[in-house]
Structure 1
Amino acid sequence: MKILIADSMHSSLFDMLRDQGWEYAYHPEFRREDILQAIPAYDGLVIRSKTFVDETMLLAAKNLRFVARAGAGLDLIDLDAAERLRIAVFHAGKGNRDAVAEHALGMLLALFNNILRADREVRSGVWDRERNRGVELMGKTVGIIGYGNNGSATAQRLSGFGCRVLAYDKYRDHYEDAFALESSLEEIMAEADILSLHIPLTEITRYLVNEDFIEKFSKPFYLLNLSRGEIVKLEAVVNGLKSGKILGACLDVLENEKIAKLTSEQQEVFDYLRASDKVVLTPHIAGWTHESYFRINEVLVKQIQNWL
């Protein structure tokens, strides 16, 4: 079997492929035209984040048997076309779920305890205890939308902080466990103090969190988005922060992550978010740890091995 690796990968992948007796070509420098030209010679394609595998590319891949995404999301792959062409699709959701869950807790604790602001102040010689008085996670109700790998790992950690976790997943049944109660979206909107998103980007979830969605919550809440940026309309978040309906936000992802190329409207929203002490921002690194970089490879190779 011949595999084209068209994105930067942890070097551990190469030994794993050789151990299986699979031939591979590593071309992280390849762009779309390079992949289109080369792909007919390969049985498998491994990507990370830079390549959109659409129907055109899949049709050009005359011998392709599978596409493997070294990450959790599958929004870069035309899943309908892959199914029609009988091309298997794999992703490594289990590979970075612990990293995402830990990052979610880290962002939330930083927000609740004013850690970023307090750190800046102390470094500049300001010792203000009262202004930086924190809020406890203990006893809070957390609503999780999307109870797959990342959502369930996050619920497990939240339960250790004494949180009550309500989980909603449109595509699963009977998923209640020791860490979360199976709930409706309406129940989450009625009871949650904190909302955490762990869902893929689809036409259904695009801008799910908008002005109307936010207003349906019965009380002010904190928002965490560690899934995909376009699930949340950031202008609506800014308005929610201004009105007090959103108490704070932890955002690992943005609508437009090319922050040097924002539109004027996007820039205005981003400027508000980055100036606010009620917002914690990170550059899409929730699943990006040294351990997950290795573990993702293990998960992908195991899936392909089992499929074969």
Structure 2
Amino acid sequence: MTDKKRTSYPKEKINILLLENISDLAVQNFKQAGYTSIKKITGALPEEELIKAVKDVHMLGIRSKSQITPAVLSAASKLQAIGCFCIGVNQVNLNKATEQGISVFNAPYSNTRSVAELVIGLSVMLIRRIPDKNKAAHEGKWMKDAKGSYELRGKTLGIIGYGNIGAQVSVLAEAFGMKVIFYDVVTRLPLGNAQARKSIKEVVSEADIITLHVPETAQTKNLISAAVIKHFKQGSILINYARGEVVDLNALSAALKSSQLSGAAIDVYPVEPEKNGDTFTTPLQNLPNVILTPHIGGSTEEAQANIGEDVSMKLINFLETGITTGSHTVPELALPLQEGAHRILHIHKNVPGVLSQINTQLSSHHINILGQYLKTNDEIGYVVLDVDKHLSKEAMELLKDIKETIKVRMLY
């Protein structure tokens, strides 16, 4: 079986829409795989425009700004998969995507190094009070002074969220001679000499620099509140390159003004501008020893290339083989190719008896199943069937007639 014949639907008719200036490497991967109907847009689209744009789209690529709402998904009747070319998927309504059998992929690890390196760089800048000295130099003032400037060596770094990024920050920090402590809701194996703590309070009261690497959930909203900041070590530094809702920025502003904290670096905000050039405000503007960046923690050429490679290949593999490894909506299945057969994907509501119906329908029509794979989650079931080539079209029609069917697609 050649790549050109991997899908039953002509590749030139498969419409791919990429928003938010996704890496050209992703475009190259799609073209090399034989897909030619690719539209790339530099920015995000507002909901009304996006609803129109997705009407005939089979694969959609986005980053963090595009909001894939239930209304957008309802308009995307041909949509098979969404690729989030970033770490998170919170910009997609996953419940609606699951309901419609749309597979959602992302790249949770591809920009890990970019964020980790920047956190260490920010730690150096803030503990040396470089923002203040930089501002003074631009204003024509000479501030050659060691007061309030320190080395990282021997200081304690507190990490809240010891996942992929937090663990890499931990390794880099130890290379600088720092002591590392961390807290995570999940039990994690420490790397190097890092030590776990039992609570956030323990970490912030002991650490000289605190860095956050947690997801945005109901539990993490305002995780760093005025009540928590009271426990921060006097003169400590806070870095948030995680999610915008995690820190109460008004409380942080007050702590910086009172010198409870000596500095901060913030990259993410509860409300962010839609596009470059839009007005941006935050309570942290014009405060001393504060670094504000526009959500660029993972924005390096290397990271974008890694993300482009990772997500585009997940989308291609799903479209051509049915593999759903890494999907947040359709149950995960890693599948071998089956020569001499046609492969059919069946996504259905997860209710008892569907698999029995599938097998009964096919067997009653003497359709031989050469391979069958099943995985379910709370909402839907995903069955991949390799069937006799000569009877695959009949099998497709039989599967469409099953009441609980959401999507049926023949791959090859």
Kindly provide the CA deviation profile for residues 85-107 of structure 1, in whole angstroms up to 9, marking residues without a partner as x: 33322222322111111211222
Question: Which aligned pairs between 1:24-39 and structure 2 lie closer than 5 A?
Answer: 24-28=37-41, 30-39=45-54
Name the CA distance, whole Å, in 1 between partners of 2:293 and 2:304.
18
Name the CA distance, whole Å, in 2 between partners of 1:22 and 1:180.
47
Name the CA distance, whole Å, in 1 between partners of 2:272 and 2:264.
17
What corresponds to 1:249 in structure 2?
264
Per the alignment, do residues 53 and 98 of structure 1 end up closer, same or farther by CA in structure 2, a change over 3 Å counting?
same
Name the CA distance, whole Å, in 2 between partners of 1:54 and 1:169.
31
Name the CA distance, whole Å, in 2 between partners of 1:255 and 1:34.
24
What corresponds to 1:15 in structure 2?
28
What corresponds to 2:172 in structure 1?
157
What corresponds to 2:305 in structure 1?
294
TM-score relative to the length of structure 1: 0.85
Q: 241, 245, 248: which one pairs with 1:230?
A: 245
Name the CA distance, whole Å, in 2 between partners of 1:218 and 1:126.
31
What secondary structure is seen at the aligned counterpart in 2 of 1:58?
helix
Q: 198, 206, 224: which one pairs with 2:221?
A: 206
What corresponds to 1:58 in structure 2?
73
Give 1 or 2: higher helix fraction: 1
Q: For the pair shown, which has the larger CA radius of gyration, 1 or 2?
A: 2
Aligned residues of 1:75 and 1:200 also touching (Cα < 8 A): no
Name the CA distance, whole Å, in 1 between partners of 2:163 and 2:37.
31
Aligned residues of 2:171 and 2:191 also touching (Cα < 8 A): no
Question: Which aligned pairs between 1:51-90 and structure 2 lie closer than 5 A?
Answer: 51-90=66-105
Q: CA shift at 1:285, angstroms?
A: 1.5
Q: CA shift at 1:47, angstroms?
A: 0.5
Per the alignment, do residues 124 and 55 of structure 1 end up closer, same or farther by CA in structure 2, a change over 3 Å counting?
closer
What corresponds to 2:143 in structure 1?
128
Q: CA shift at 1:240, angstroms?
A: 1.1
What corresponds to 2:334 in structure 1?
none
For the pair 1:278 / 2:292, whether they are aligned, the reply is no
Letter in 2 for 1:198: H
Give unmatched runs, 5+ long, in structure 2: 1-13, 324-412
What corresponds to 1:3 in structure 2?
16
Letter in 1 for 2:18: I
Letter in 1 for 2:103: A
Per the alignment, do residues 68 and 118 of structure 1 end up closer, same or farther by CA in structure 2, a change over 3 Å counting?
same
Kindly provide the CA deviation profile for residues 212-252 of structure 1, in whole angstroms up to 9, marking residues without a partner as x: 12123465521001122222111100111133322211112
Stretch deviating more after TM superposition (253-262 or 237-246):
253-262
Aligned residues of 2:59 and 2:82 also touching (Cα < 8 A): yes
Q: CA shift at 1:261, angstroms?
A: 4.8
Per the alignment, do residues 108 and 24 of structure 1 end up closer, same or farther by CA in structure 2, a change over 3 Å counting?
farther
For the pair 1:181 / 2:166, whether they are aligned, the reply is no
Per the alignment, do residues 122 and 147 of structure 1 end up closer, same or farther by CA in structure 2, a change over 3 Å counting?
same
Give unmatched runs, 5+ long, in structure 1: none
Aligned residues of 1:72 and 1:96 also touching (Cα < 8 A): yes
Name the CA distance, whole Å, in 1 between partners of 2:296 and 2:87.
13
Question: Which aligned pairs between 1:191-202 and structure 2 lie closer than 5 A?
Answer: 191-202=206-217
Q: CA shift at 1:50, angstroms?
A: 2.8
What corresponds to 2:409 in structure 1?
none
Letter in 2 for 1:255: P
TM-score relative to the length of structure 2: 0.65
Stretch deviating more after TM superposition (16-25 or 287-296):
16-25
Stretch deviating more after TM superposition (71-80 or 182-191):
182-191
Aligned residues of 1:6 and 1:35 also touching (Cα < 8 A): no
Q: CA shift at 1:15, angstroms?
A: 0.8
Per the alignment, do residues 130 and 64 of structure 1 end up closer, same or farther by CA in structure 2, a change over 3 Å counting?
same
Name the CA distance, whole Å, in 1 between partners of 2:307 and 2:193.
24
Q: CA shift at 1:298, angstroms?
A: 1.2
Name the CA distance, whole Å, in 2 between partners of 1:211 and 1:204.
16
Name the CA distance, whole Å, in 1 between partners of 2:235 and 2:192.
27
Name the CA distance, whole Å, in 1 between partners of 2:139 and 2:235.
32
For the pair 1:49 / 2:60, whether they are aligned, the reply is no
What secondary structure is seen at the aligned counterpart in 2 of 1:64?
coil
Q: CA shift at 1:280, angstroms?
A: 1.5
Kindly provide the CA deviation profile for residues 30-82 of structure 1, in whole angstroms up to 9, marking residues without a partner as x: 54334323434333211113311122222332333321111112221122333
Kindly provide the CA deviation profile for residues 233-281 of structure 1, in whole angstroms up to 9, marking residues without a partner as x: 111001111333222111122333339656xxxx5x63xx332222112
What secondary structure is seen at the aligned counterpart in 2 of 1:7?
coil
Identical aligned residues as a percent: 30
Aligned residues of 2:123 and 2:209 also touching (Cα < 8 A): no
